[in-house]
Amino acid sequence: MSTAATKPRLKTSAMIASIAGDGQATRAAPFGNALVALARERSDVVGMTADLGKYTDLHIFAQAFPERYYQMGMAEQLLMGAAAGMAHEGALPFVTTYAVFAARRAYDFIHQAIAEDNLNVKIACALPGLTTGYGPSHQAAEDLALFRAMPNLTVIDPCDAIEIEQMVPAMAAHHGPVYARLLRGNVPVVLDEYDYRFELGKAKLLRDGADVLIISSGIMTMRALEVAKTLAHDRIDVGVLHVPTIKPLDTATILREARRSGRLVVVAENHTVIGGLGEAVAAVLLSHGVTPAFRQIGLPDAFLDAGALPTLHDRYGISTQAMADTVKTWLR
Amino acid sequence: MVTTSDSGLHARLAECAYRIRRNAIRMGEVQGQGYIAQALDIADVLAVAYGHALRYRAEDPEWEGRDRFLLSNGHYAIALYAALIEAGILPEEELETYGSDDSRLPMSGMASYTPGMEMSGGSLGQGLTIAVGRCLGLKRRGSDAFVYTLFSDGELDEGAVWEGIMSASHWQLDNLIGIVDVNNQQADGPSTQVMAFEPLVDKLQAFGWFVQRIDGNDLAAVIAAFDAARAHRGACPRMIVCDTKMGSGVPFLEAREKNHFIRVEAHEWQLALQALDAGRKA
């Protein structure tokens, strides 16, 4: 009995693990609520899902607009094909599933039925990158590499609740197919400190710094901002350039910031280091003759472990502490 | 629905089917190859679709009130182009561009290239899923247009087809008319040997569809099946299972064993047209 009292609390490897840190401010279901707000303005908005309405915050929309909600069953190919058909008939479908199922299972349907016709379908996918400890079946480490390669498709990797709220109307305003990574449930609020406004296709310098420039997207921007605060104690001055739109890439801003001499450029992404933001930025820099010291932080080219999310983020070097340690090593 | 006498309608659609076959053979001649056997086998179905059943405006292929015809099996494009020419949606002269650079008539059917082409097929097994969405979208708008989707028996191998079949019934899509071309021929051989799909009618009925199975080269049967599919009162999707003969209308092509993708010798195109004409007079 005494061992039970001293045994550390088991960390969860549950499917839906919170990405919010202890005590971090959060907002509930920013996507679902933003979609409801959008649907009040636009009668063409419909919501479609493949048995994951409750787990992609689309249930908020379903409750508000039951007659505009389409449950397509656990059938992602049908989901994407039917969304294409809906868009052909003038609807504006917001489609949700997990990122793994959109990227791996329904890729061909997104490619042929949606992107090739440049249809107005908005695909919002939960559990991007390493945001679940459920193992490779549910970890979408390659989604950005796959979707970056698809013509016509706009690709977004938002950072926090504020960005998701602003991203939803921006997706609707853009004509054409969009893939967005989705953070669901209680989503951290981070960008309110930075006077931030999401603009499709624009990178934003959130914080300037003389020693290191971290170029990041998604939840890694949240981490990069924390790393900057941490390293400030060591008199290391870290700038953070947030790149929520992975495609089309804001090459002008990336080049402008990377050209400033003497800074180590680090690209940080919640994605395999193959084919994601890091390689995209590297290609932009090299093809423009900009050659700063350059490093990548991202997931390894491996099937990732199952486990508790904080453990895995440490193990794979994308936790705040692991990132800070790595960057310090590179500066030595 | 029948606006002329039955015999008059039959004669008109027989002529229409003949011209579709002729258009397809002429296009095949341009490239020296093509999915000619499929075009010939589906010509009667397309004649009834474009000559009798579908509502459309030839001068305005995107007219909102039109019935949609989705070609899931994009390699049948040569057949649909032949029908779109017959329907007056494409000019006949254009058939000489078939499969050529910068043509609006690529060898695989793509919506972005061709007026009257409603989807980009070719990656097989997608048509029915898109049709489900189009039917849902039309119902949202209160439209009474039908969505037809043509697919091949080989596409029944694809899981997404069955996702579409199940969901169409779930959503009670009485504006959906599926047409499956059972010519028992796919890339690697007879469809029934590549992947068994019979008893197809029983399966579709078990999924809640109104199903008719006909000889897809018997024009009278095709007309009756299209009429019955539209007139059916049940709140369910409709399927017309068409048993067809590859190369139908050109006996020496019908007799070819490997006829999924036909290579026709240069001199044979004229022979094919002659055989078609002979059959027409008979």
DSSP string, A112-172: IIIITTT---EEEEESBBS--SS-TTT-BTTHHHHHHTSTT-EEE---SHHHHHHHHHHHH
Q: Judge whether A330 and A266 are in contact, CB under 8 Å.
A: yes
Q: Which of A160, A188, A216 is the last residue of a domain?
A: A188
Q: Give the C-alpha distances (Å, rounded to integers) separating B54 from A290, A316, B70, B122.
A: 60, 58, 12, 23
The domain that holds A97 is classified in CATH as: 3.40.50.970
Across the A:B interface, residue pairs with CB atoms under 8 Å apart total: 101
β partners of residue A69: A47
* Residue of chain A with shortest Cα separation from B64: A89
Dihedrals φ, ψ of B45, to 5°? -65, -45
- Select from A75, A88, A113 the Cβ nearest to the Cβ of B163: A75
Dihedrals φ, ψ of A66, to 5°? -60, -30
> Per-residue confidence at A1, pLDDT binned at 50, 70, 90?
very low
- Do both A46 and A184 map to the same domain? yes
A169 belongs to a structural domain: yes
- Do both A211 and A299 map to the same domain? yes
Q: What is the ipTM of this complex?
A: 0.93
| Percent of residues in chain A assigned helix, strand, coil, to nearest 5 | 40, 20, 40
> Per-residue confidence at A215, pLDDT binned at 50, 70, 90?
very high
Q: Which of A8-22, A23-37, A162-176, A221-235 has the lowest mean pLDDT?
A: A8-22
The domain that holds A302 is classified in CATH as: 3.40.50.920
A21 belongs to a structural domain: no
Write the pLDDT tens digit of every residue in B200-246: 999 999 999 999 999 999 999 999 999 999 999 999 999 999 999 99
DSSP A165-225: HHHHHHHHHS-S-EEEEE--SEEE--GGGGT----TT--EEEE--SSEEEEE-THHHHHHH
A127 belongs to a structural domain: yes
Write the pLDDT tens digit of every residue in B57-76: 999 999 999 999 999 999 99
- Do both A184 and A205 map to the same domain? no
Q: Judge whether B109 and B76 are in contact, CB under 8 Å.
A: yes
Query: Residues of A near B (CB-CB distance < 8 A)?
Result: 46, 70, 72-73, 75, 77-78, 80-91, 93, 108-109, 111-113, 116-118
- Do both A183 and A268 map to the same domain? no
- Do both A139 and A223 map to the same domain? no
pLDDT at B53 over 80: yes
Write the pLDDT tens digit of every residue in B153-168: 999 999 999 999 999 9
Q: Which of A167, A188, A209 is the last residue of a domain?
A: A188
Left, alpha or beta for A73 (phi > 0: left; psi -120 to 50: alpha)? left
- Side-chain-side CA neighbours of residue A39 (13 Å): 24
pLDDT for the residue B6 = 85
For residue B279, the distance in angstroms to the closest alpha carbon of chain A comes to 40
A7 belongs to a structural domain: no
CB–CB of B126 and A89 under 8 A?
no
- Do both A68 and A177 map to the same domain? yes
- Select from B129, B137, B170 the Cβ nearest to the Cβ of A109: B129
Q: Scan for tokens 């019955």, then name that residue.
A: B228
Q: Scan for tokens 């914080």, then name that residue.
A: A207
- Do both A96 and A222 map to the same domain? no
For residues B30 and A157, what is the distance between their CA atoms, to the nearest angstrom? 48
Determine which of A88, A94, A105, A120 to mutate to test the interface with B (most B C-beta atoms within 10 Å).
A88
pLDDT for the residue A2 = 47
pLDDT for the residue B255 = 87
- Structural domain for B11, as ranges: 4-279
- Do both A125 and A209 map to the same domain? no
A193 belongs to a structural domain: no
pLDDT at B258 over 80: no
- Do both A217 and A162 map to the same domain? no
- Total length of chain B: 282
pLDDT for the residue A22 = 82
- Structural domain for A270, as ranges: 201-331
Taking contacts as CB-CB distances below 8 angstroms, the residues of chain B near A87 are 133, 137
Split into its structural domains, chain B has a count of 1
- Do both A36 and A183 map to the same domain? yes
Split into its structural domains, chain A has a count of 2
- Select from A85, A112, A117 the Cβ nearest to the Cβ of B133: A85
pTM of the model: 0.94
CB–CB of B130 and A88 under 8 A?
yes
* Residue of chain B with shortest Cα separation from A117: B112
A295 belongs to a structural domain: yes
β partners of residue B33: B263
pLDDT at A131 over 50: yes
Instruction: Single out the residue of A182, A189, A244 nearest to residue A52, CA to CA.
Output: A182
For residue A34, the distance in angstroms to the closest alpha carbon of chain B comes to 23
What average pLDDT is seen over chain B?
A: 94
Q: What percent of chain B has pLDDT over 70?
A: 96
- Return the DSSP state at B189: B
Contacts for B91 with CB less than 8 Å, ≥ 6 apart: B85
For residues A262 and A265, what is the distance between their CA atoms, to the nearest angstrom? 9
Write the pLDDT tens digit of every residue in B4-27: 578 899 999 999 999 999 999 999
Taking contacts as CB-CB distances below 8 angstroms, the residues of chain A near B138 are 89
* Residue of chain A with shortest Cα separation from B145: A89
Q: Is B7 exposed, middle or buried (CB count within 10 Å of its CB: 0-12, 13-18, 19+)?
A: exposed
Q: Judge whether A99 and A127 are in contact, CB under 8 Å.
A: yes
Q: What percent of chain A has pLDDT over 90?
A: 92
Q: Which of A188, A210, A244 is the last residue of a domain?
A: A188
pLDDT at A306 over 80: yes
pLDDT at A295 over 80: yes
pLDDT for the residue B34 = 81
Structural tokens at position A234: 């060591």
A168 belongs to a structural domain: yes
Q: What mean pLDDT is predicted for residues B169-183?
A: 98
A16 belongs to a structural domain: no
For residues B53 and B1, what is the distance between their CA atoms, to the nearest angstrom? 8
Write the pLDDT tens digit of every residue in B79-126: 999 999 999 999 999 999 999 999 999 999 999 999 999 999 999 999
Q: Give the C-alpha distances (Å, rounded to integers) separating A107 from A51, A125, B92.
A: 18, 13, 37
For residue A69, the distance in angstroms to the closest alpha carbon of chain B comes to 11
pLDDT at A8 over 70: no
The domain that holds B175 is classified in CATH as: 3.40.50.970
Contacts for B134 with CB less than 8 Å, ≥ 6 apart: A85, A86, A88, A89, B68, B70, B147
pLDDT at B3 over 70: no
- Do both A44 and A108 map to the same domain? yes
Q: What mean pLDDT is predicted for residues B255-264?
A: 74
pLDDT for the residue A200 = 98
- Total length of chain A: 332
H-assigned helices in B71-110 = 77-86
Q: Which of A178-192, A238-252, A318-332, B2-16 has the lowest mean pLDDT?
A: B2-16
Taking contacts as CB-CB distances below 8 angstroms, the residues of chain B near A116 are 110, 112, 120
CB–CB of A85 and B167 under 8 A?
no
- Do both A101 and A220 map to the same domain? no
